[in-house]
Structure 1
């Protein structure tokens, strides 16, 4: 690795708000370290080819940190960049088809699609590809009040209810249609998306999204997400405005092919990335593995995992053995998602690299350790919710304790999740909690769960049962899932 700081320019001076906005639309953000920046790259479908992985690895190898961050929008971030090196890095990445424009700031962000392999998997991927080629391309010319996020998925596991727009396929007599949810979002003030009174053909989705975006531009408030506009107007009035703007195309077929055509009895291998980041060595290994065992691609998921598709069953063991040489195939009892946190992010309030201290505490309590298989814990350094803590079994969010502002503290939520027929936001367990007390707090939560657990219930199942017993309303009011 080349840890060379000699060519860094001194950029301690502040940018204007206009300059910051322009940089962020290009995917360029200043880190907590004032003379360092990170570059975000949008990945349509979360896809990286083996040659792209090689190029990314070579770029990451030139950074001080030597790690690539994965995001929950199936994008990647390269940290620790000197400002004057970014144009060259962008050019290098663009030469292999990797672009940063629109990955940050007030723009339509990378469209998320969730890979489940169900009956509509091909349609979901084809629509996502089509929207990237049509809707996203058109949106880059527009000035928005705030960022705009879209998710496509076969079920609510794709987080459809917590995006500005969520798209869910349903089978009808006339063919496949898409339900459209609007006004969702997480952050410090989570909103659950509402279902528009329309079901549209895949060929009409792009034009509908353009209409929604136009209403957002005309009626939205600067620096406020779409969720606040939908809330203030009411769904009915919002829909009226969208219909006035919506011009349904005569012909705009979804022709983008799906890449889900698998080879015979091939399998998909899911690889967890516990620290939500990859080293240069791991990136080169993934490129090698993709060439040898797949059709040359890897796919990042919104859960910050890696999918390796089209793996022949007889080669799976060899693939896992290859990944194990770079610590990528080690089974983890807990699924972790963590943002970069205070170490790198200017907004971060806490250090999010807490996984090992938490694991060490839990390992000391065998009865708990043996029962936590498959749990999810998400750590977010601030209320921006980049790690989506509200939809994890246990969510941890960095906060400022007003009584003790100098002590790193968190809010802990429990019982959130997107899986199954009942997505829910986690409920606050306790706030504030000192970061130093966090491992003990999680141990108490898990011990309380084991006391309330029935049979072989998972943590999630126990909390869903408790919601039902308390008569809590499902967060999807009305008819929001296909029947």
Structure 2
């Protein structure tokens, strides 16, 4: 094992980083199955890239709040281990690319010096907790959701109940009924509310995008703030046990709820209540350390272009509830900027604001706590960085995922077409610099990282095939999606599929018709009134692939002829493990259970033991060539194949043994007994496996 060392003071974090280094070495030496190693590194923010031999690193920025020292630290790491480019994601993370796998533990160690983590930024875990970028400053908010988002993020980080779920799990917080956190498309979404002066949240569950978008359902109209963590723990326990694990396409929570219904889902949550240690988790919002603006003299500055300054002020300033202050929206083209600008931005907010920036769901930056008198100064300084493009969060501000630039799943360019569409709007439709209604989003594939199917106008990367079998890059045009507020939203309809090079013409026709016929209506209402066929009719001719030119076979931003290349997706790939690896994992889980027990964290100890029991049962089922799916399915299958048949004697059914987890409170006595059960079960199934293997070996001889 390599002797990797860190300078991290937190022993839990240090153990995490050393474990990653050790697992990388075991992987290189052929001691860990490739699929299992993928699962481990993804949960540590290390994601395979389209380009062979390098990794994308996703850096977790909870609710998008980034302090200036953290921005500098990320810049240093990007310069040292990557290429100096930072990419803001639609989940308020930062990604860097082209990183050597062997250097990732060292990279992570450097980030942690300023409390920046990679843990659970990717993989089948609770992903980055997102929130409204104006949390704490929004003029309409009933209270600041930041302390609650922060507490929830910390509670579930490294929590054993959500480390190896069937798929990823996404959480959002919205500051107001405008639902700028987009709760309706999350696995669980919280919208800030007050009732009779008491703080709380509306809770929505099981929303999602992807190829089959689903609107979240209301779990509770109002719960007080001390209930949000226990509620999410119940939801996660149910998802972990009953969620699909075999079919990647059906493994999100939205499919579980669709299959069993909301009432059955609530009943399963109720069954977990005895296992949940904390029925109430009080979050001390007053103890949350909010950023404080600096006191500074207002320097005199000269504005060179007053007209440009006034336009920028009209589109990029955000009112702030703190008197005398505004926030500044910085439009970041496609979410990409470089470390030289990042460092200067960190200096600027340190010297003249509150030492923080917010990363937004539309891949932009917000600078809060700018004194109104300092706006001219910020404009002149941001202008030096190329950060004063007008149209923050307006129609010209298009969201796009990386697409075929770096993503394995990218089918067609999303960044190239996004740049071209922004150019078209700026040059031909300048009125949309100030239009907040029109939301345009682009994804390079059906997985909707660019959130195309919730946009007013969305584009999804695809391909078209000509009659003589030639393949060209294409765009599915989707229309009519939008955020309607208070947890309500509309998903866009797929209207036509056009060659990518015709994307700008499709946009022109849509905008021209909107201008002529909307009559003051917002786009969602205008689309609903006209209907899908109306748009199909005036876009249909753009689908014709019998008359393509050579240019149509070259994707946006490329020079070579298009070749469709799709790799294996990594966000939540199915893991089929080797039997020996599963048994070793069961041992590790029991060791983790004992550590948690010694630390008196009995609920965690019990859950580690539970995952060991499931893991051991899964190993034996796979050894018998049985398909394994949900945890609940594994448990019933094991009883049927091994216990009811008398092959293995447990003294009780496996169901009775393992489901003690939701029959008993997480006490010290029960934790001790349950860990012992898990250990005994592992020994029994191992012995059975060895006996069967020996019998087979003798028969072979």
Give the TM-score band, short-chain normalised.
0.7 to 0.9
Would the alpha carbon gap of residues 60 and 244 (structure 1) be closer, same or farther in structure 2, given more than 3 Å must change? same
Cα 1:133–1:179 shift into 2, 3 Å: same
Determine whether 1:93 maps to 2:111: yes
Taking the aligned partners of 2:421 and 2:280, their CA distance within structure 1 comes to 55
Write the mapping of 1:75-86 to structure 2, written as runs, cut at 5 A.
75-86=93-104
Q: Deviations over 1:137-191 (max 9, x none)?
A: 4257632111011111123231101000111233223722322111100011101
| Deviation at residue 244 of structure 1 after TM alignment | 1.7
Partner Cα separation in structure 2 for residue 377 and residue 65 of structure 1: 29
| TM-score scaled by length of structure 1 | 0.87
Q: In 2, are the aligned partners of 1:186 and 1:390 still within 8 Å (CA)?
A: yes
Q: 1:131 aligns with which of 133, 138, 152?
A: 152
CA distance 1:139–1:304, change in 2 (3 Å): farther
Judge conservation of contact 2:398–2:422 (CA < 8 Å) in 1. no
On the 8 A contact 1:102/1:140 being kept in 2, the answer is no
Residue matched to 1:477: none
1:349 aligns with 2:416: no
TM-score between the two structures when normalised by the length of structure 2: 0.61
Question: Counterparts of 2:167 and 2:127 in 1: how far apart (Å)?
Answer: 11
Distance 1:364 1:205 in 2: 47
Give the conservation status (yes or no) of the 8 Å contact 2:215–2:489.
no
For the Cα contact (< 8 Å) 1:111–1:132, is it kept in 2?
yes
Higher mean C-alpha deviation, range 14-23 or range 437-446: 14-23
Partners of 2:254 and 2:399 in 1: CA distance:
25
Equivalence for 1:253 = 282
Task: Report the counterpart of residue 440 of structure 1 in structure 2.
Answer: 505
Q: What residue is the counterpart of 2:492 in the other structure?
A: 426
After TM superposition, the structure 1 stretch with the greater mean CA deviation from structure 2, 247-256 or 121-130, is: 247-256
1:381 and 2:444 matched: yes
Q: How does 1:22-421 map to 2 (within 5 A)?
A: 22-62=40-80, 65-116=83-134, 117-120=138-141, 122-139=143-160, 142-153=163-174, 154-155=176-177, 156-173=179-196, 175-197=198-220, 199-222=222-245, 223=248, 224-246=251-273, 247=276, 249=278, 251-256=280-285, 257=288, 259=290, 264-332=323-391, 334-352=396-414, 353-362=416-425, 365=428, 368-371=429-432, 373-374=434-435, 375-401=438-464, 406-418=471-483, 420=485
| Cα distance change, pair 125–15 in 1 and its aligned pair in 2 (3 A) | same
**Take 2:33 and 2:95, find their aligned partners in 1: how far apart are those partners?**
21
Partner SS for 1:54: helix
- Superposed displacement of residue 272, structure 1: 1.4
Separation of aligned partners in 1, 2:419 and 2:491:
26
Q: Contact between 1:45 and 1:112, CA under 8 Å: does it hold in 2? A: yes
Tell me how far apart the structure 1 counterparts of residues 529 and 324 of structure 2 sit (CA, whole Å). 37
Q: Which has the larger helix fraction?
A: 2
Give yes or no for contact 1:125–1:258 (8 Å, CA) kept in 2.
no
Quote the residue 2:35 is aligned against: 17
Q: 1:140 to 1:50 in 2, by over 3 A?
A: farther
- Higher Rg: 2
Q: Is the 8 A contact 2:458 2:478 kept in 1?
A: yes
Q: Is the 8 A contact 2:125 2:162 kept in 1?
A: no
Deviates more, 1:257-266 or 1:118-127: 257-266
* Ranges in structure 1 where 5+ consecutive residues have no aligned partner: 1-10, 471-483
What RMSD in Å do the two structures reach over aligned CA positions?
2.7
Q: For the residues of structure 2 that align with 1:307 and 1:198, how far apart are their CA atoms? A: 30
Instruction: Look up the SS of the partner of 2:408 in the other structure.
Output: coil
SS across alignment from 1:157: coil
